Structure 1
Amino acid sequence: MNETLNNIEVAMFYLMIIAYLLSTVMYWLTLVSKKVWLEHLATGITILGLAGNTVALIVRTIIAQRPPLSNGYEFILTFCWGIVAVYLFAEFRYKIKALGSFVMPLPFLLLTFIIMKMGPEERVASAIPPALKSQWLTFHVITAMLAYGAFAISFGLGVMYLLKSRSDDENGKSNAKGWISRFPASQILDELAYKIIGFAFPLLTLCIITGAIWANYAWGTYWSWDPKETWSLITWIIYAAYLHVRLMYGWKGKKAAWMEVFGFLAVLFTFFGVNYLLPGLHSYA
């Protein structure tokens, strides 16, 4: 039974990586082609990849008899799921197909990291460490997954804004040509990034709070300045500063876009740099 489930999980993993690669290529093609069928194909392949991602997580849950949240391989699968799920919501809600060109490479690169850097032994569904045996872990990782996924969307919007704004005149009118002309107006990109961060920031706050409660359960203290905790706080401060200067000082445009980019770089370091470069209580991740 487990062998069959393992084969299904492996098949879903490769379905994901192929689907996310193909969707990236399709979204890139939509920037240079106005064919509607290409846009529909890109979205359809993305949905297929998300379906494979979902099945892989469900199968891993059945195999491990626990939520798939206890090692780096499983965290990356959930991270990919969060990015793609939030992206598809944004695409259907706001009808910005070009955003996929900047978001969908992220889950593909995350899965490529698994292939290049993780051996088979790191992908095995092992017994859960005692420190992870808490329902607070589930809440902690789910909020992180959705927050990080949303921040990936704001990153894509920030990059699009920086590219689009280069062709704007002093009155904000765009003179973009070529594939950049397919982007929405700079003001729309700016406002949407603000909305996405406004959605993600409370989730990041909940992630840190539930993580503190979990830490107290596991290690007897709410906060120990572990590298993961420290960088999570740094990430929170960056996005809190973004919202503060936006609301209090009216920061928009390039300054806000650069904060969106740097904020997501902090997310990536919190996720990868801490787990693989800095020793700490979270090194098992």
Structure 2
Amino acid sequence: MGIAELSDLLVWAAATTLAIAMIAFAVDLGRRTGERVEARDASRATVGAAAPGLAPGSTLGDAGDGAVPPAEPRRRAAGIAMSTTSLGTALLLVAIVLRGLAAGRTPWANMYEFTLVGSFIALTVFLLLNLRRDVRFLGAFVTGLATLFLVLGLNVFHVAATGVQPALQNYWLVLHVGVAITATGIFTVSFVMSALQLLRDSREAGSPFLSRPGFRWLDRTPTPTVLEAMSFRLNAVAFVLWTFTIIGGAIWAEDAWGRYWGWDPKEVWSFVIWVVYAAYLHARTTRGWSGRRAAWFVVVGYACVLFNFTGVNLVFNGKHSYSGLS
């Protein structure tokens, strides 16, 4: 077995591990929802008798400073999910390194490698966010997307680990493409937050579909305002990186092709992404756009990111066609 084959095997292992993590995160979210409902019903049933001094209709949470809220039960499924996510991320990192060794270059020169590294960045962002605050509610969705991307990469985008064209044999491959992948990974996590914001907001607004008991897990996510704030911070960071991506790409284009801008499909759609996220940041900070309108901006922006990665590479012919399948 060669290094390239070992890399592919580790990607499969990472996808399998992340699928297990996704299931564990989903189980944790479901159990927390059920425990919350049971605890709420139990507290209402024991009003007055179990806690003297409580007024009729009040709960233990209304007893004042003297009341001790029940301790949150140990979240074993969440612990398993975080451990398997860390393991899957580590396996993916090793696979990426081996891919680079097999190809003898930086391992992000085509769609398959972009998929691997972009998924790794999204997972890393998720794990780093958990060091600052508990965002495990994102786990099922981030690991689910990463699993989907890795399986698609292995079955649709996979190419042999070979060298690159002379135009790509440049340090800008490390900078320009590396920064673009980092921005894409951050955009992925912020998209998950905005999608959850829309779902939670619709549930709170009384959506007939989302008001069903099967969507009680949305009650365990932060409020739409909190989700929007977290998404905004991530998008601000990713936007700066995407700005550098466009500037770096223009500099590289002048060095490789003798012009800074040529309206190549990849250049055009990269600029479209920049415009969408710039409009989002501007509207939210200066025009007071918030709530659902801001969240839909993020969803549209991420749709453009996905189209730039898939549709532009597979449908249009241009100077960036070598970044697709070969």
TM-score by length of 2: 0.81
Q: How far apart are 1:75 and its partner, in Å?
A: 1.3
Give the residue type in structure 1 aligned to 2:160.
V
Structure of greater Rg? 2
Q: Which segment is superposed worse, 108-117 or 184-193? A: 108-117
Matches within 5 A, 1:26-105: 26-34=24-32, 36-105=75-144
1:86–1:146 contact (8 Å) kept in structure 2: no
Q: How far apart are 1:114 and its partner, in Å?
A: 2.2
2:313–2:321 contact (8 Å) kept in structure 1: yes
1:226–1:281 contact (8 Å) kept in structure 2: yes
Q: Which segment is superposed worse, 152-161 or 73-82? A: 73-82
**Equivalent-residue separation in structure 2 for 1:206 and 1:139 (angstroms):** 9
**Equivalent-residue separation in structure 2 for 1:30 and 1:176 (angstroms):** 19
Matches within 5 A, 1:162-241: 162-168=198-204, 178-241=216-279
Counterpart in 1 of 2:153?
114
In the alignment, structure 1 residue 128 sits paired with structure 2 residue 164: yes
TM-score by length of 1: 0.92
1:278 to 289, 292, 316: 316
Measured against aligned partners, the alpha-carbon deviations of 1:102-140 in whole angstroms (never above 9, x if no partner) come to 22222211112123324xxx5211121011011011111
1:9 to 7, 10, 13: 7
Give the residue type in structure 1 aligned to 2:251.
I
Number of residue equivalences = 276
Counterpart in 2 of 1:156?
192
Identity fraction in percent: 35
**Equivalent-residue separation in structure 2 for 1:230 and 1:192 (angstroms):** 29
Q: How far apart are 1:24 and its partner, in Å?
A: 1.7
Please state which structure has a larger fraction of its residues in helix: 1
Measured against aligned partners, the alpha-carbon deviations of 1:192-241 in whole angstroms (never above 9, x if no partner) come to 01111111110011111111111112211111111011000000100000
**Equivalent-residue separation in structure 1 for 2:263 and 2:25 (angstroms):** 41
Q: How far apart are 1:57 and its partner, in Å?
A: 1.2
SS at match of 1:284: helix
Q: 1:9–1:116: structure 2 CA closer, same or farther, 3 Å change rule?
A: closer
**Equivalent-residue separation in structure 1 for 2:184 and 2:293 (angstroms):** 21
1:244 to 282, 297, 307: 282
Q: 1:176–1:182: structure 2 CA closer, same or farther, 3 Å change rule?
A: farther
Structure 1 stretches lacking a partner, 5+ long: none
Counterpart in 1 of 2:37?
none
Give the residue type in structure 1 aligned to 2:265.
P
2:15–2:150 contact (8 Å) kept in structure 1: yes
Counterpart in 1 of 2:178?
142
Q: Which segment is superposed worse, 233-242 or 11-20? A: 11-20
**Equivalent-residue separation in structure 1 for 2:23 and 2:321 (angstroms):** 34
